Amino acid sequence: MNDPVLVINCGSSSIKYALVPTTANQPRLTGLVERLGSSDARLKGVDSRGDVFTSDLGDVGHVQALKAILEGLEGHRPSAVGHRIVHGGERFTRATLIDDDVVAAIEQTSALAPLHNPANLQGIAATRSLFPALPQVAVFDTAFHQSLPPRAYRYALPESLYRDHGIRRYGFHGTSHACVSARADALSGLPGGGWLTAHLGNGCSTAAVWEGRSLDTSMGLTPLEGLVMGTRSGDVDPGLHAHLARHLGWSLERIDEVLNRESGLLGLSGLTNDMRELEAAADKGHAGATLAIEVFCYRIAKSLAALSCALPRLDGIVFTGGIGENSPRVRRQVVDLLPHFGVELEHNANLATVRGREARIDTQTPNRPVLWVIPTDEEGRIADETRKLLGDTPR
């Protein structure tokens, strides 16, 4: 493997990793350390033959977990590390070489992403202590959306909240929206096309991308705004918080917990946040599951229609993420709600998509928007951005 990049996505109790080689025909070593901070942390990885291995790590911290990850890399040594960082605020508009100043700036944005940025920083600290000589690059989930114009990123709130406290829409999943819109450009032979991208997984967001730049997106200050998600409510009336506090006596923490962890597909169905299980239950007539899928799809279509206002021209829609890539039913229900876009789903192509493969699922009628299913590759994109930055940066 020549000059592989180690991509790290560090959460508070987990570290996802991928050793990404320079060329696509070499195997990628991937895996996850989970239950960090408990007495039974575990490494689960995939080796170069595609076989899964697990190893019990016991009570380990981030540094020991990273050491275990390195031992699972079959002797390959990374040439650089790319870190997925959730929030880059307004300062970070592109991938950035990590130094003490960058670490301090990421710390300063932690108030905007209290669950994510501190965990991401733990990953940076651990990798810097293990590989002091290796270049490390921060790739921000928010960076791709820094091209939003003020009319898309400002809330209609007093100006001082923006100026003094950074209250604005930032957007997330930027690496994924950037990755699949660039791929749609390439596949369609339309450099700089106008795309609506729908990243539909446990977290869900849409984006409007024109000439490779994000012009609007459904997530906002936090990853709670916008679409219905696995356990997140997405948009609710901003008056809901005050109503729940006044009439039910709920604390802010309780409201936050309910909107982030007990709502979305799980809350609506009363069953599960897993789309596969919901589809199976709906097939058996479960009313909650049927309603959850209906609301989920309606809100996606509504968001795509709203975001189309940002585009000078609509070339097509791209579906990605675990649900977007693998659920023909969701794609059909969404497209059925958008006849005014002139999109036409080719039903057999929609049903015949294969996990992990790109597919065109419209009727290929000239002058109509295209429908793509494009597997997202956030790790590959983080590795590419890391390599590109290091190639551009004198060291």
Residue 386, helix vs strand vs coil:
helix
How near is the Cβ of 157 to ligand AMP at its closest, in Å? 31
1 is in an annotated binding site: no
Q: Which is nearer to ligand AMP, 102 or 282 (CB)?
A: 282
249 is in an annotated binding site: no
Q: Which is nearer to ligand AMP, 107 or 283 (CB)?
A: 283
Q: Which is nearer to ligand AMP, 135 or 201 (CB)?
A: 201
Q: Which is nearer to ligand AMP, 213 or 261 (CB)?
A: 261
How near is the Cβ of 280 to ligand AMP at its closest, in Å? 9
How near is the Cβ of 283 to ligand AMP at its closest, in Å? 12
Pairing of strands 204-210, 213-217: antiparallel
274 is in an annotated binding site: yes
What is the 8-class DSSP label of residue 27? P
Q: ∠ CA(307), CA(310), CA(316), 5° rounding? A: 65
How near is the Cβ of 334 to ligand AMP at its closest, in Å? 13
Q: Residue for token digits 């880059």?
A: 88
How near is the Cβ of 257 to ligand AMP at its closest, in Å? 20
201 is in an annotated binding site: yes
Cα–Cα distance measured from residue 86 to residue 374, given in angstroms and rounded to the nearest whole number: 22
Catalytic member of 141, 362, 377, 384 = 141
Return all residues near 56 (Cβ < 8 A) that are at least 6 apart. 40, 41, 42
How near is the Cβ of 217 to ligand AMP at its closest, in Å? 17
Cα–Cα distance measured from residue 311 to residue 239, given in angstroms and rounded to the nearest whole number: 30
- Kind and range of the H or E element at 89? none
Given the rule CB under 6 A, which residues bind ligand AMP?
201-202, 230, 274-276, 279, 321-323, 326-327
199 is in an annotated binding site: yes
Annotated catalytic residue 256 = no
315 is in an annotated binding site: no
Lookup: tokens for 323: 């649900």
Return all residues near 315 (Cβ < 8 A) that are at least 6 apart. 184, 188, 190, 193, 194, 195, 369, 370
Cα–Cα distance measured from residue 41 to residue 47, given in angstroms and rounded to the nearest whole number: 19
Lookup: tokens for 376: 């997202």
What is the 8-class DSSP label of residue 273? S
Residue 37, helix vs strand vs coil:
coil
Where are the extended beta strands (E) located within 59-163? 80-85, 96-97, 136-140
202 is in an annotated binding site: yes
203 is in an annotated binding site: yes
Cα–Cα distance measured from residue 378 to residue 320, given in angstroms and rounded to the nearest whole number: 11
User: Could you give the count of Cα atoms lying within 13 Å of 223 in the half-sphere of its Cβ?
Assistant: 24
Cα–Cα distance measured from residue 339 to residue 356, given in angstroms and rounded to the nearest whole number: 28
Within 10 A of 63 (CB to CB), how many other CB atoms are there? 14
How near is the Cβ of 193 to ligand AMP at its closest, in Å? 24
Q: Which is nearer to ligand AMP, 112 or 228 (CB)?
A: 228
107 is in an annotated binding site: no
What is the 8-class DSSP label of residue 357? -
- Measured from each CB, the residue nearest to ligand AMP is 322
Q: Residue for token digits 């928007």?
A: 369
Q: Which is nearer to ligand AMP, 4 or 230 (CB)?
A: 230
Q: Which residues are catalytic?
A: 141
Where is the binding site for substrate, in residues?
84
Where is the binding site, in residues?
9, 16, 84, 199-203, 274-276, 322-326, 378
Where is the binding site for ATP, in residues?
16, 199-203, 274-276, 322-326
